[in-house]
Structure 1
């Protein structure tokens, strides 16, 4: 991928600072006094008020982070992206043209050395998905390095220091609004959130009355990983008119036993499609495993493939919802 050379951000004039202050005040953000040359805004990061300056060299981790930035029209503030193998090729993204304008930095996990080498001033990722103590990328460590960080609100459920709870889709809306505040594009973010909510309500209005039991199969053979109620697929299933068989688990992505899956007798199985673990391989396993081959969903060949970036926190969650809702409506027609 070819990177772009960016000019240093122009200093704000006092008049521009006043205009930004007035706009942000309407959204509840705290802004530096108008006499300051550098625009600053205070936005919550997993329950902790954090003062941000306008980022110019953002590093995004995984497709969901990139999607949020690109969807808000913030490509010029993105230096590059880190994309582990589970993510589909960026050429398949609705924002493929935006990916082409920034640098591909790594297909490995996010780490401190990479961010320092990239001269990043801002990183967008989830807690335990990009940001972690183990790899030296916790918000506290990055703060000490002068690198600002933004955690997906949905992932704050696991963050130990300043926990924050959001229903998954509400977390998506919150992220877009907070990024809008940080980058001064609140109106753009508000318009996007309004449109996403409208699309969700349109799906809910058409949802079948019968709640089909649904199992989300992420990965794993000895024990499966699935979606608890704290991740986007739970909202996708629920709003489409299904019932996540593990919706009672107050967890994000979590491991369960096959016995619990068998007992729940799912009538539909959503397969999360990884680039390095294709849906076809997972379906083949479910059809041949003695434990799962007699499940109603398997017997009736009721598999719905959910793109990886429609399953993690991203504006594309709504695309996944609309597709799955259409699938369920066809089953119930």
Structure 2
């Protein structure tokens, strides 16, 4: 097998066609100018929201959720850190072009205040941060509303909320739909995503799940995906087994010895940052510790796009693409 960008056209085309159909329908959003107040859960805390008009969104996952819901008119701008691939690669590239680019640094309070934002969408420890002084509580004191990705609430202090990452995606779409009066659009999206995932599960290979290792980064010690992040669900729903899926954590550092002991048959490469997917694969091939892993020996590498690996509507694309790769693998073995 070769690096898996092959046979992804079908799944990608289907995903894009769904996006276009939903975009053509438009979101049923109240744009009359009247403010509506609703109470919505934010990481275990009930929060009262007034319809935002100038949202600032951090990273591709936040922006894509808003755009998928047809809420471009409510987005003032986006902050895109360097690790995030170009927005031109997004199914919502046209929507990015309609809002302001606010910066390519980590999210910070000054940026949000200078932008005149009345609403911020980000994840905990991915955008919001105690150490950088931008948390929902701090923004509350400034009169700026905020929304946290449910998937990231797992380790949010004070208001823990536990759900599987894909269910967290559905929850986010439903909650954002309530905040912006786009409940119908949210229900349509979630129903479509659930059916696409169910279709994948119906086609999952029979037998024992194939052991899969996600390689994010790291040479001395690998950084990988544990139970509480989207790639674990991508692997699980497609019919595989994340070798670190029993770790009740999010993104985490492990040992090469643990990877070797698990003998992964497929390695997922998370594609982002200054080190390319090809360079990561070359490292695994050249590293004596990993060179004899079954996945490396058989050249079973699947490349997962960054925005398919963080909480985003594109998680569904990731499930479909990896499921197709896994079915091909099972058919050949």
Is the 1:85–1:276 Cα contact (8 Å) retained in structure 2? no
Equivalent residue of 2:302, what SS? strand
**Residue 179 of structure 1: which of 173, 176, 180 is its match?**
176
Shift of 1:39: 1.4
Give the number of the structure with larger relative contact order, counting CA–CA contacts within 8 Å between residues 6 or more apart: 2
Equivalent residue of 2:224, what SS? strand
Shift of 1:86: 1.1
Is the 1:57–1:79 Cα contact (8 Å) retained in structure 2? yes
TM-score of the superposed pair, with normalisation by structure 2 = 0.89
Equivalent residue of 1:79, what SS? strand
- The within-5 A match list for 1:102-113 is 102-113=99-110
Moved more, 81-90 or 275-284: 275-284
Equivalenced residues, count:
300
**Residue 252 of structure 1: which of 227, 237, 250 is its match?**
250
- The within-5 A match list for 1:128-277 is 128-210=125-207, 211-277=209-275
Instruction: Give the whole-Å Cα distance in 2 for the aligned partners of 1:292 and 1:86.
Output: 25
Choose 1 or 2 for highest CA Rg. 1
Shift of 1:11: 4.6
Is the 1:61–1:110 Cα contact (8 Å) retained in structure 2? yes
- The within-5 A match list for 1:40-59 is 40-59=37-56
TM-score of the superposed pair, with normalisation by structure 1 = 0.89
Shift of 1:134: 1.1
Structure 2 unaligned regions, length at least 5? 1-30
- The within-5 A match list for 1:17-56 is 38-56=35-53
Shift of 1:275: 3.8
Shift of 1:277: 2.5
**Residue 75 of structure 1: which of 58, 64, 72 is its match?**
72
1:278 matched to 2:276? The reply is yes
Superposition misfits of 4+ residues, deviation over 4 angstroms: none
Instruction: Give the whole-Å Cα distance in 2 for the aligned partners of 1:181 and 1:127.
Output: 21
Query: Per-residue displacement from partner, 1:217-260 (whole Å, max 9, x unpaired)?
Result: 11111111111111110110011110000011000101101100
CA RMSD of aligned residues (A): 0.9
